[in-house]
Every structure is written in structure tokens, then in C-alpha cells.
């Protein structure tokens, strides 16, 4: 999945064995962008921070990501 697929502004790919790993990779990417002063990622970073603070309210987003991740074609084995 890409940063854009997860609500960010760019096409950086995030990979992992589970949706949770992909979400955590996106969180790290947004944190690194924020630390480097990348203002284009700021709204996505604020949204991700809000999801971590209010996980119950963010279940809809989380389940959407899980469905999108499950629908991705299988990678090379």
C-alpha cells in the first residue's frame, strides 16, 4: 500500500505481512516527514496521531485499511 492509500500525500510504498505492519510503517513515514519539516505530510500526520489517541473512534478507518490490504494481489512467493 502507498502513503496515499493510507491518507497521505505521496506514493511511497509500505509493505508488510499484515495490515498492522503497513499502518505502523505509514506512521513511521509520517513521523519522519514531520521531523524533516515536510509540510505536505502534516495533515496526514495529525490524522494518524488522532487515530492513535482515539482508537475506538478510528475503527472504521482501520477496518477499511484491513479490507484494502486483504484485497491486494499476492506478491511473488
Residue with cell 482508537: 55
pLDDT at 57: 86
Does residue 4 surpass a pLDDT of 50? Answer: yes
Asked if 1 and 69 touch (Cβ cutoff 8 Å), the reply is: yes
How far apart are alpha carbons 66 and 45 in whole angstroms? 19
pLDDT at 77 over 50: no
pLDDT tens digits, 10-47:
999 999 999 999 999 999 999 999 999 999 999 999 99
SS3 47: helix
21: left (phi over 0), alpha (psi -120 to 50) or beta: alpha
Q: Which three cell numbers stand for residue 9?
A: 500525500
Mean pLDDT for all residues in the chain: 92
Is the pLDDT assigned to residue 61 strictly greater than 90?
yes
* Predicted pLDDT of residue 76: 57
Amino acid at each position: 500500500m502507498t502513503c496515499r492509500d493510507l491518507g497521505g500525500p505521496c506514493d511511497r510504498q509500505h509493505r508488510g505481512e499484515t495490515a498492522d505492519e503497513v499502518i505502523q510503517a505509514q506512521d513511521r513515514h509520517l513521523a519522519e516527514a514531520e521531523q524533516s519539516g515536510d509540510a505536505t505530510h502534516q495533515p496526514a500526520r495529525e490524522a494518524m496521531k488522532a487515530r492513535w489517541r482515539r482508537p475506538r473512534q478510528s475503527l472504521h478507518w482501520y477496518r477499511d485499511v484491513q479490507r484494502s490490504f486483504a484485497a491486494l494481489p499476492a506478491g511473488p512467493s
